[in-house]
Structure formats: structure tokens, C-alpha cells
Amino acid sequence: MKALLDTFAHAEYGKVPAKEVNEGIHEILRTLGVSGRVLAHGLGIAEAQLHRMLTKKTGFYRAQTLAPFYRVAKLVEEARQSLSEPGVKSWLNRPNPYLNNLPPILCVRSDQELGKVVAQLAAIRYGFPA
């Protein structure tokens, strides 16, 4: 099975088939255990846009359209390296005091926010104080 990050990573080089994007978004939703509304809110995109992306089976997406999904895929992959599967779902959906009491899934609107969340996961993985 193709790694989740690979689905969105090669968007930097051109267009990505809509079917691959569709499968990647469904895997993100399964892994996180959240609704489309929560994911759209966390990404800072319209719920209608996410729904269109979930139903589109043909065509391609450009890199700029997939940038928010690349950040979420990176977050999910980092969490999988540090936590168990149930831990991933739980940790990403619970408010975190080091992230201004926001769940990490809502902290992926920018690369800076993602950096803070990834730093927290590194602290968990390597046992550094947060």
C-alpha cells in the first residue's frame, strides 16, 4: 500500500490524479476518526470543497490545492511513528495545553503550526521535556 505522505508529496512536481487524492483523504478521515467538517475546519478550507474532493474520481489536482492535505498527511505519518494507532486518534483529537488548548488536528493551517505539533511528537518520541 502506498504511504499516505507519498499521495500528496509528489504534488510538488505536477498534478496528482483525483482518484489517489480521494483515497488519501478517506484514509486521513479513517485514521483521525473525525468528520469531514472537523477536517475542513482544521485545514482552513470550505466544507463544500472537501466534499467535492471526496467525490471526484477523475481529473487531476494541482500542488497548491493539495498543500493543506500534505500537512495533514505529514502530521499523521509523524504521529504513527510516535504513537500506537489508538494513540494517534486520541492524541490528535484531544486539546493539548502546549498548543493553546487546541487539538493538534486543528493546528495544521500553516507550516508554522505544523512545526509546533511535530515538535510535540518529537518530544514524546524521544522523551524530551515538552
Please give the Cα distance from 98 to 120 (Å, whole number): 8
Side chain identity at 98, as an amino acid letter?
Y
Instruction: Give the separation between CA 48 and CA 4, rounded to whole angstroms.
Output: 23
**CB 78 within 8 Å of CB 9:** no
Assign residue 83 a region: left if phi > 0, alpha if psi is -120 to 50, beta otherwise? Answer: beta
Listed by start position, the domains of the chain span 4-126
pTM attached to this predicted model: 0.86
Q: What is the pLDDT of residues 19-48, one digit of tens each?
A: 989 999 999 999 888 999 999 999 999 999
pLDDT at 52: 93
Q: pLDDT digit string (tens) for 42-71?
A: 999 999 999 999 999 899 988 888 889 999
